[in-house]
Amino acid sequence: MKRMVLLCFVCFVITNMVFPQDVPVRIAFWNMENFFDPYVDSTKTYNAFTEDGMQHWTKNRFYRKRNNMYKAILAMSENRPLGILGMCEVENEYVLSALFEQTPLKKHNYRWVLYEGPDKRGIDPAIVYSLDHFQLVESAVIPYYNPEDTAYHSRDILYAKFVAVEVPEPVEGLTHKADTIHVFVNHWPSRYSGELETVGSRSCSAAILRAKVDSIVAAAPPDYQPKVIMMGDLNDCPTDPSVYDVLRARHPSEKEEGCFTNLFGKNEGLGFEGTLKHQTDWQIFDQIIVTDGVMTGEGLHYKEGSARIFHADFMLEDDETYHGKKLFRTYIGPRYFGGFSDHLPVYIDLVR
């Protein structure tokens, strides 16, 4: 009898490990805030984040940030592998290797996509994915180009196409068709020179992204809705012209024909006020936007109500100047604080 009970328990555990039909696949994005290695790069003119540079970026400071990041990612993923993690402000593959291959995150079989881009500081977007959930089909960069200001260069949009790992054996109630998911990771031009002075640059990025996604939708068979996930630090709020009018991304309550769904279009239901703070105001610059195929399509699709701003207590600190909480950052200007980032991560869950 004991052997039979033990056998049934083992079968139950194995079945739920191999066929995790109730476990969502988490898709996330995080601006890592200057995730540099501490070494001088002789190919670049910007080397502030080095031991002798302006920020005095030592090995100890780098490893402290690396450790902060992996702990936050484990907490956000609930100690399970994230399906896909979009990132920005990543210097190179060295920092990705240090984070995903030299910490407890290595157990989740992460791989990544990163291209060196034109950013003058040498920071780029990256896409990290777990082989437990996805296989990479192809990847590319979509360069920023503004015909009205050809002298200005900004970060590329990073694109990757994935196929979800199929369930190995038939299980009643599960969809066995492999899911194809297109992912775009964005880090649009900043407001450093002023919001109004740079609004056109962000609208240009929005137009480039919109055209690429429209081409994917147009190329699909008539009876198929492609699954496209757009994520990133857009340096604009959901109601700003670049997002609302040019990209035409709307909150589900405001969605119209031909619009994408901005799952972070309003802060209600997201669990927190915003992803970054300017004086007293929290804003949502970090967003995840999807096509109808993600919302209503068969196979992997959005889990209703799962969009969240991840805001663990250890990532925040008391705001003595403007009250409430503020982000526990790595730096504020030249002052080192040893925290996490100037942005909070965001995520959604997909289910079958």
C-beta contacts of 323-329 below 8 A and 24+ residues apart: 323/280, 324/280, 326/277, 327/276, 327/277, 329/33
Instruction: Provide the residue ranges of all domains of the chain, joining segments of one domain with +.
Output: 23-351
- CB contact set of 218 (below 8 Å; sequence gap of 6+): none
Tell me if 191 sits within 8 A of 235, measured CB to CB.
yes
The count of other CB atoms within 10 Å of the CB of residue 95 is: 22
Whole-model pTM?
A: 0.91
Distance CA 117, CA 108 (A): 27
Please tell me the predicted confidence (pLDDT) of residue 127: 98
**DSSP E strand boundaries for 188-333:** 227-233, 249-250, 260-262, 276-278, 281-283, 286-290, 301-302, 308-309, 316-318, 325-327, 331-332
Q: What are the structure tokens assigned to 77, written together? A: 């993923």
Distance CA 34, CA 334 (A): 13
Is 206 in a helix, a strand, or coil?
helix
Angstrom CA distances, 125 to 154, 187, 217, 224, 323, stand at 12, 7, 24, 29, 32
Task: Give me the residue label for tokens 């777990």.
Answer: 130
Tell me if 90 sits within 8 A of 31, measured CB to CB.
no
- Taking only the tens place, the pLDDT of each residue in 77-120 is 999 999 999 999 999 999 999 999 999 999 999 999 999 998 98
Angstrom CA distances, 338 to 2, 93, 224, 346, stand at 53, 22, 48, 22
- The dotted CATH code for 23-351 is 3.60.10.10
Distance CA 206, CA 196 (A): 16
Listed residue (340, 325, 199) closest to 274, CA to CA: 325
DSSP string, 83-140: SEEEEEEE--HHHHHHHHTSSGGGGG-EEEEE-----TT--EEEEEEETTTEEEEEEE
Distance CA 264, CA 234 (A): 12
Distance CA 284, CA 35 (A): 21
Please tell me the predicted confidence (pLDDT) of residue 178: 57
Task: Tell how far CA 90 is from the center of its chain.
Answer: 12
Low-confidence ranges of the chain (pLDDT < 70): 1-22, 166-178
Q: Kindly report the backbone phi and psi dihedral angles of residue 138, in degrees, each rounded to the nearest multiple of 5, phi listed first.
A: -160, 165
The residue type found at 31 is: N
